[in-house]
Amino acid sequence: MNTPGRPSGPRQVVHHVVDPFARAGGYYLQTWGRWLRHESRGGVAPIAPHPALALQATIDELVLAMARVGHRPRPADDWARIEGEARLALTQWEERGWIDDPAAYHPAPPIAERLRWRTRSGSGLQYERLTFASGYEPPAGEPGRQRWLALRSNRIAHVWVLRHEEPRPWLVNLHGAAMGQARVDLRTFKAAWLHHGLGLNLAFVVLPRHGPRREGLPFGVGFPDDDLLDNVHALAQTMWDTRRLLTWIRSETDLPVGVQGLSLGGYSAALLAGLDDELACVIAGVPPVDLADLFERHAPHAFRHSAEWTRLVPLSRLVHQVVSPLAVTPVVPAERRFIYAGLADRLVHPKGQVERLWQHWGEPSIEWFRGGHVGFFFANQIQSFLANALDVSGLRPPAEHASNQCTASLSAVPQTSVSFRVRDR
């Protein structure tokens, strides 16, 4: 039996080293062709080729290559388990009505209780580490339930919090895959600018199987991966934990509360937009919305010719429906939905992923920048877009509460990306 696993041998090592550069070079040549032909894609103008674009595409491809190399092999019986669980779960969900109504798969949780606070510092900021018992459990009798509950460190929800002494609006942030460490999260989301510059209270939720919640798991991305029911339970727990936190915040203040997500967190924020109608805004950054497509597009080459893989791909499309942002109707008003994404994103396809969310959301405000998936960090137009989104959503506190760090932070952003804006409305 041809079981998918990690390829080995000198030729494969050379392939892994060379492939990212070859793929990025191919993309750059295609960009030249589309630009010379004035060929738009999905209503978006063609990108003018630039060396910085090739660099950002290469960074994305290197990230993908590392993920492929680090992908752990599975024995044949593991693939059989994944397939069996998926088929049984689909039968159960059909009987319970969750295939037709995915939002019903996500019951409203109780308020977060027995909160534990500890003061910490990192990335030049003092913050609080909030923990509470998650309390999430997959539905009774669902495949993979006991395996998920056996992840002891995952039972505790972790949140990095930055609060002002006086009442302020809140922005809850959901990080990307392989993140979940305070120093990384605070720097990536530019917490100093959001907290001191814009005067917001901030909460950074650690996603399941990430950061301190991944104890005992092998090195790599906590989720998503090819274990379909684990993906479902991770996203369902993300909704549960985030909504428990939101309920606690709302018990403390009547000021607006918004959510911002990045990459995998953008996926989670987009799903949350179909579950919580009290959010002041939802901002999805470089968001994937179709895990099955990512599963198929970025799988290690060794997987693609196996019988196990061939059977699992269509199952993945069905199983992820109960946690898909495209399967729930957004309940946050269209004028309070926002998206930003990279035109040269090699991880999350601009048309195959981002544009589908934009259309599903009724074509809300969207900001396209000339860069890759990782390139959002260097696109200073994103900060202007975020500031405007927070303004129109009522999250910006009075001007006297914002410090001069706002201007300083904006000017400190590296100017390595080419600013490019497409306004769709």
Domain count, the chain: 2
Query: Do 195 and 86 have their domain in common?
Result: yes
Residue 104 included in any domain: yes
In a domain, 298, yes or no: yes
Considering the domain architecture, whether residues 225 and 285 belong to the same structural domain is answered as yes
- Give yes or no: residues 216 and 185 share one domain: yes
**Taking the CA of residue 229 as centre, how many other CA atoms within 13 Å lie in the half-sphere pointing to its CB?**
27
Please give the pLDDT value at position 42: 46
Is the pLDDT score of 249 beyond 50? yes
pLDDT at 284: 98
The gap from C-alpha 200 to its chain's centroid, in whole angstroms, comes to: 21
**Residue 197 in domain:** yes
Q: DSSP states of 25-86 as a string?
A: HHHHHHHHHHHHTT--BTTBPPPPP-HHHHHHHHHHHHHHHHHHHTPPP--HHHHHHHHHHH
Q: Are 35 and 48 in contact (CB under 8 A)?
A: yes
Residue 190 zone, left/alpha/beta (φ > 0; ψ -120 to 50; rest) = left
Q: Which helix (H) or strand (E) holds 407?
A: helix 405-412
User: 69, 93, 120: which is the final residue of a domain?
Assistant: 69
Across 320-345, b (16+ Cβ under 10 Å) vs e yields: bbbbbbbbbebebbeebbbbbbbbbb
Residues 154 and 31 occupy one common structural domain = no
Token match 């809300």: residue?
A: 364
> What is the spatial distance between Cα 80 and Cα 177, in angstroms, rounded to a whole number?
26
25 and 111 fall within a common domain: no
pLDDT at residue 30 greater than cutoff 70: no
Residue 158 sits in the same domain as residue 296? yes
342 - beta bridge partners? 369
Q: What average pLDDT score do residues 142-154 get?
A: 96
Q: Does residue 221 share a domain with residue 95?
A: yes
Give the pLDDT confidence of 66-94 residue by residue, as tens digits: 665 555 667 788 999 999 999 999 999 99
Q: Are residues 128 and 233 in the same domain?
A: yes
Cα distance between residue 96 and residue 77, in whole Å: 28
pLDDT tier, 390 (very low <50, low <70, confident <90, very high otherwise): very high
Q: What is the pLDDT of residue 392?
A: 96
How much is the pLDDT for 24? 46
pLDDT at 372: 85
Query: What is the C-alpha to C-alpha distance for residues 40 and 366, in angstroms, rounded to an integer?
Result: 17
At residue 221, the pLDDT reads: 63
* Contact status, residue 284 vs residue 271, Cβ threshold 8 Å: no
Asked if residue 124 belongs to a domain, the reply is yes
pLDDT at 122: 81
pLDDT at 402: 58
Find the mean pLDDT for residues 179-193.
96
For residue 276, give the nearest of 390, 140, 107 by alpha carbon: 107
Residues shown for the chain: 425
Q: Identify the CATH number of the domain in which residue 227 sits.
A: 3.40.50.1820
- pLDDT averaged over the chain? 83
Whether 174 maps to a domain, the answer reads yes
Residue type, position 136, single letter: Y
The pLDDT of 176-200, averaged and rounded, is 95
Residue 52: predicted pLDDT: 64
Residue 397 has a CB neighbour count (10 Å cut-off) of 20
Average pLDDT value for residue range 41-65: 62
Quick one: pLDDT band at residue 215, thresholds 50, 70, 90? confident
Q: What is the pLDDT of residues 87-115, one digit of tens each?
A: 999 999 999 999 999 999 999 999 999 99
| pLDDT digits 0-9 by tens, 250-301 | 999 999 999 999 999 999 999 999 999 999 999 999 999 999 988 887 666 6
pLDDT tier at 119, thresholds 50, 70, 90: very high
Q: Does some domain include residue 423? A: no
| Token duo for residue 318 | 């069905």
Which SS3 state, helix, strand or coil, does residue 364 take? Answer: coil
> 346 near 57, Cβ under 8 Å?
yes
Identify the domain containing residue 62 by its residue range: 10-69
The answer to whether position 122 is within a domain reads yes
User: Same structural domain for residues 47 and 121?
Assistant: no
Q: Which amino acid is at 267?
A: Y
pLDDT confidence of residue 13: 43
Hey, what are 12's tokens? Answer: 């494969």
The reply to whether 75 falls in a domain is: no
pTM: 0.83
Q: What confidence tens digit (pLDDT) does each residue in 393-415 have?
A: 999 876 655 554 444 333 333 33
Same domain, 282 and 356: yes
